Amino acid sequence: MTQCINSLAQIAQKYDAIVFDQWGVLHDGSCAYAGAIDCLVGLAKAGHSLSVLSNSGKRAAPNAKRIADMGFSNGLFNQIMTSGEALWHDIDRGKIEQSNFFCD
């Protein structure tokens, strides 16, 4: 059943780990949303494992730098996974034959 909440704090205690999308949830592309950093710091202090999942075509490290530059500390997230990171791992493991990729 769907539950309407006013704050993540209302339900966070039910979960050990929480996964966040970055764009539109943590930040607007240029700066963190008001209260987002404080919220995540509080969740981490309460013992929650925090991760970021994004459809960004860039690998995880550039995304980690982007959100760190917005004020989210480097150690705040246990994992950052992006579409670009998943693709790189698939190519590296031979699941996808490496070829030339072009972007406009």
CATH at 34: 3.40.50.1000
- Among 90, 73, 58, which residue's Cα sits nearest to residue 26? 73
Q: What is the mean pLDDT of residues 39-61?
A: 95
Tell me if 55 is assigned to some domain.
yes
Tell me if 103 is assigned to some domain.
no
Residue 104 has pLDDT above 60, yes or no: no
Total structural domains in the chain? 1
- Domain around 64: 14-92
Residues written for the chain: 104
pTM of the model: 0.83
Tell me if 5 is assigned to some domain.
no
Which residues lie across from 18 on neighbouring strands? 50
- Mean pLDDT of the chain, nearest integer: 92
Q: Is residue 3 very low, low, confident or very high in pLDDT (cuts 50, 70, 90)?
A: confident
